[in-house]
C-alpha cells in the first residue's frame, strides 16, 4: 500500500487529551506502514506500540493492554486471523477491539476475519479519516466495557442470568423502504437464526421502538420522510435506544457520509450490494459485542448485588422491580406506552403460617408464584414484593385488559389445593391500576394499587378492585 493513497489531512479537534492516553497497538511487518500509523495516531493523542510479527503482537497485546489493535493479516510466525482468535480466547485480552488492516479484500477474507473474532475489517488502500473514525468509535466502546468489567469483577452476574442471555434469540429491526432488499435481508438473517421485523421509514421505526427494543438495527440512509442520519441521531440521543448497535446498509459510498456516520455512533457501514455471507458475519460480530456489553451492564445495576430473583419463589425480587418500573414509566412518559400494575396479597396468610407451620406457608407462597408464572404473559413481570405480597407489571397493557388476567389469577388461586395431603385452600385480594400522567415515580403507581388492594380487603377479600389515577 502506498502512502500516496492515504488522505493524511487530519484535525486535532477530536484528539484525546485524557490521562492516561488511549493506547493503540499496530502490528504490521512493513516498517513504512508502521511508521505511518505511529505518526498519524500520535498526532491524534494516542499512545502507540508496534509489533512486526504475530508472536510479538501476542506478547505486546498482553503486556501493553491496548484499547485497540490494528492488525495486519499477512505476517510472519502467526497470521492476523490466528492472533485475533488467540487474543479473543484469552480473558485478559478478549475485550480489546481488533481491526484487521490488510490488502486481502475478498468476501471470504472478511468473513474469516470477523469469524476469528475481529471487530472490524479495513482493506488497503484505505482512507485515514475513515480509519480514525473507526478507531475513535471502538475506543469509546472499549472504555465502557472496561468500566462494566470492573463492576462485574466486584459483583459477578448470577449464573441463571447468564443462562438466560446465552439462550437468547437475537432480534433485528430492518429500516428500509425497498421491498426487494428487505426480502433478501430477511431471508439471509432468517437462515442465521435471527428474528426479523421490517419498517419502511424513520417514522415507523420510531413508533416501533416505542413498543420494542431490538438487539440490532439495519438502517438505510435514503428513506422517505426522516432520513437515516437524522434517525440515527435521534436513536443515539435517546437513553432507551442509544446502546442498540446500528449497521448502515446504503447505496451512499462517499467517504464524508461514512466518516460522519461513525462519529455519530454507527457500528458498521456497508455499501450496496451487500454479500450475504459478509452481512451475516458483520451482524454476528455486532450482536456478539452487544450481548457481551449487555451482560456486563447487568452487573452495573445495584439490583444484581443481591441477585434479581427471590430465592423461595423464583420470581423477580423487589430490587429488580425498581429498575423495570423506572424503564416502564420512562417509556410511558416519553412515548405514551401504557402499562398496568397489580398488587396481590394472600388472604389470611398469618393463620396458615401459625396453624400449619412455616413449611406449609412456604408451599402456599411457591404455589401462588407458579400460578403467576403460568397465567401472565412473557412480556409481563411478576415480583415477590415482600412477605405474602406480589406485584405484576403488565407491559403495554391498559387496566381493562389487565383486569381479565387478574381475575383469572384470583380464580386459579381459589381453586388450587396448595398442601399435599391437606384440604387447604387460599384466596387472594388484588389491587389494580394503570399508569397516569400525574405519576412522578413508580411509588405513586404502587401506592394507588395498594389503596385498591385495601379496598378489596375491606369489601370481603377474594376480589379484584381497580383504581384509576387522576
pLDDT for the residue 108? 79
Mean pLDDT of the chain: 83
Question: Assign residue 461 a region: left if phi > 0, alpha if psi is -120 to 50, beta otherwise?
Answer: left
Res 18 pLDDT > 60: no
Highest mean pLDDT among 138-142, 213-217, 306-310: 213-217
Where are the alpha helices (H) located in 340-441, listed in sequence order?
349-356, 358-375, 399-415
What DSSP state is assigned to residue 347? Answer: T
The length of the chain, given as a count of residues: 470
pLDDT for the residue 138? 84
- Return the exposure string of 276-305: e unless at least 16 CB atoms fall within 10 Å of the residue's CB, then b: bebbbbbbbbbbebbebbebbbbbeeebbe
Across 60-69, 280-289, 441-450, 451-460, least confident range? 280-289
Mean pLDDT of 271-282: 84
Where are the alpha helices (H) located in 349-398, listed in sequence order?
349-356, 358-375
Res 307 pLDDT > 90: no
Res 247 pLDDT > 70: yes
Residue 269 contacts by C-beta under 8 Å, 6 or more apart in sequence?
A: 247, 248, 250, 258, 261, 262
Mean pLDDT of 293-298: 66
Res 297 pLDDT > 80: no
pLDDT for the residue 7? 37
Say if residues 397 and 332 touch (Cβ distance below 8 Å). Answer: no
Res 6 pLDDT > 50: no
Domains parsed from the chain with CATH numbers: 1-139 (3.40.50.2300), 155-300 (3.40.50.2300), 304-466 (3.30.70.270)
Q: Cell match 492488525: residue?
A: 71
Say if residues 260 and 235 touch (Cβ distance below 8 Å). Answer: no
Say if residues 116 and 263 touch (Cβ distance below 8 Å). Answer: no
% of the chain beyond a pLDDT of 70: 86
Res 192 pLDDT > 50: yes
By CB atoms closer than 10 A (0-12, 13-18, 19+), residue 457 is: middle
Res 13 pLDDT > 60: no
pLDDT for the residue 470? 59
User: In Å, how far are 139, 188, 226, 405, 461 from 287, measured between CA atoms?
Assistant: 18, 15, 26, 35, 49
Highest mean pLDDT among 97-101, 107-111, 123-127, 137-141: 97-101
Q: What are 393-441's pLDDT values in tens digits? A: 998 899 999 999 999 999 999 998 887 667 667 899 999 999 999 998 8
437/444 Cα distance (integer angstroms): 11
Mapped onto helix, strand or coil, the DSSP state of residue 365 is: helix
Across 24-28, 95-99, 216-220, 340-344, least confident range? 95-99
Mapped onto helix, strand or coil, the DSSP state of residue 237 is: helix
Residue 300 contacts by C-beta under 8 Å, 6 or more apart in sequence?
A: 147, 148, 151
Q: What are 309-353's pLDDT values in tens digits? A: 888 998 988 878 887 888 788 888 877 889 999 999 999 999 888
Mean pLDDT of 172-176: 93
Res 166 pLDDT > 80: no
- Sorting pLDDT into bands at 50, 70 and 90, what band is 201? very high
Res 164 pLDDT > 60: no
Res 131 pLDDT > 90: no
Q: What are 89-116's pLDDT values in tens digits? A: 998 898 898 988 877 667 777 788 788 8
Q: What are 435-467's pLDDT values in tens digits? A: 999 998 899 999 999 999 999 999 999 999 999
Amino acid at each position: 500500500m502506498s502512502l500516496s493513497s492515504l488522505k493524511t489531512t487530519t484535525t486535532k479537534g477530536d484528539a484525546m487529551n485524557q490521562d492516561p492516553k488511549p493506547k493503540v497497538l499496530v502490528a504490521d511487518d512493513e516498517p513504512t506502514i508502521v511508521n505511518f500509523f505511529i505518526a498519524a495516531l500520535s498526532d491524534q493523542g494516542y499512545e502507540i506500540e508496534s509489533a512486526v510479527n504475530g508472536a510479538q503482537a501476542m506478547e505486546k497485546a498482553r503486556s501493553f493492554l491496548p484499547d485497540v489493535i490494528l492488525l495486519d493479516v499477512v505476517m510472519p510466525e502467526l497470521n492476523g486471523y490466528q492472533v485475533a482468535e488467540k487474543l479473543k480466547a484469552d480473558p485478559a485480552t478478549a475485550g480489546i477491539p481488533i481491526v484487521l488492516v490488510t490488502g486481502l479484500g475478498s468476501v471470504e477474507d472478511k468473513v474469516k476475519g470477523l469469524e476469528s473474532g475481529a471487530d472490524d475489517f479495513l482493506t488497503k488502500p484505505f482512507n485515514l479519516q475513515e480509519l480514525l473514525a473507526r478507531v475513535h468509535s471502538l475506543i469509546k466502546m472499549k472504555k465502557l466495557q472496561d468500566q462494566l468489567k470492573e463492576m462485574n469483577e466486584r459483583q459477578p452476574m448470577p449464573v441463571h442470568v447468564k443462562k438466560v442471555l446465552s439462550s437468547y434469540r437475537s432480534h433485528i429491526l430492518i429500516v428500509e423502504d425497498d421491498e426487494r432488499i428487505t426480502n433478501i435481508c430477511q431471508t439471509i438473517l432468517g437462515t442465521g437464526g435471527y428474528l426479523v421485523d421490517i419498517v419502511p421509514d424513520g417514522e415507523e421505526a420510531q413508533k416501533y421502538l416505542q413498543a420494542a427494543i431490538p438487539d440490532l438495527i439495519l438502517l438505510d440512509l435514503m428513506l422517505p420522510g426522516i432520513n437515516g442520519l437524522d434517525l440515527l441521531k435521534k436513536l443515539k440521543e435517546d437513553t432507551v435506544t442509544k446502546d442498540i448497535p446500528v449497521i448502515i446498509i446504503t447505496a451512499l459510498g462517499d467517504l464524508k457520509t461514512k466518516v460522519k456516520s461513525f462519529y455519530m455512533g454507527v457500528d458498521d457501514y456497508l455499501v450496496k450490494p451487500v454479500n450475504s455471507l459478509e452481512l451475516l458475519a458483520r451482524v454476528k460480530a455486532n450482536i456478539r459485542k452487544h450481548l457481551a456489553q449487555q451482560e456486563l451492564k447487568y452487573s452495573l445495576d445495584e439490583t444484581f448485588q443481591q441477585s434479581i430473583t427471590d430465592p423461595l419463589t423464583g420470581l423477580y425480587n423487589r430490587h429488580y422491580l425498581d429498575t423495570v418500573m423506572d424503564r416502564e414509566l420512562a417509556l410511558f412518559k416519553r412515548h405514551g406506552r401504557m402499562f398496568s400494575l397489580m398488587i396481590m396479597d394472600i388472604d389470611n396468610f398469618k393463620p396458615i403460617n401459625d396453624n400449619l407451620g412455616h413449611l406449609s406457608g412456604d408451599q402456599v407462597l411457591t404455589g401462588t408464584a407458579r400460578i403467576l408464572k403460568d397465567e401472565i404473559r412473557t412480556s409481563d413481570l411478576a415480583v415477590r414484593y415482600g412477605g405474602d405480597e406480589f406485584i405484576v407489571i403488565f407491559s403495554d397493557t391498559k387496566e381493562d385488559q389487565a383486569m381479565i388476567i387478574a381475575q383469572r389469577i384470583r380464580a386459579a388461586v381459589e381453586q388450587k389445593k396448595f398442601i399435599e395431603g391437606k384440604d387447604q385452600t387460599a384466596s387472594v385480594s388484588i389491587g389494580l391500576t394503570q399508569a397516569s400522567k400525574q405519576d412522578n415515580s413508580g411509588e405513586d403507581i404502587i401506592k394507588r394499587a395498594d389503596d385498591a388492594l385495601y379496598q378489596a380487603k375491606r369489601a370481603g377479600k377474594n376480589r379484584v378492585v381497580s383504581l384509576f389515577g387522576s
